[in-house]
Structures are given as C-alpha cells and as structure tokens.
Amino acid sequence: MDALFEESRKDPPLAKNQTEVAGAIYWEKSLFYRMKRTILRFMTLEAMMQTDQGKAVFIFLFVKLQL
C-alpha cells in the first residue's frame, strides 16, 4: 500500500470532471478505507488478536492511527 501511495502521490488518478484537489482527497480516502476494511476483517479473527503480535498491532492501530 505504501508503494501504491508513493507511486501516485504527486499525480493521483482522477475521475472524469474532477478537480485535482477533490480527486486527490477522494483517492487518499479510498486508499484509507481499503486498508481499514482489511484490518477490520483481520480483527474479527479472535485467535489472531490474542497473540502478542496481534495485541501490538491492535495498540498501534487504535492508539496511533485512531481507527
């Protein structure tokens, strides 16, 4: 996801008749929601979230990123 962001950061893809600023905001939000949807799917797997690594990820996501 980082590579995709860095690759298109300066020139994000735009929809037809979309201004550059609106297109950049829409593109960034769509990337965020793609990541969030995946993370929430993993969080439903309780066995995964009970491990030390799962707990560390949980703390990172909710404390640092405020999901």
Residues 6+ apart with CB under 8 A from 30: none
pLDDT over threshold 60, residue 31? yes
pLDDT over threshold 70, residue 30? yes
Question: How confident is the model at residue 49, as a pLDDT?
Answer: 76
Total domains in the fold of the chain: 1
- CB of 67 closer than 8 Å to CB of 61: yes
CA-based nearest residue to 45, from 58, 33, 32: 58
Q: Which ranges in 10-66 belong to alpha helices (H)?
A: 20-43, 46-49, 52-59
When pLDDT is cut at 50, 70 and 90, the band that residue 12 belongs to is confident
pLDDT over threshold 80, residue 9? no
**Domain that includes residue 36, residue range:** 2-64
- CB of 23 closer than 8 Å to CB of 30: no
- CB of 23 closer than 8 Å to CB of 12: yes
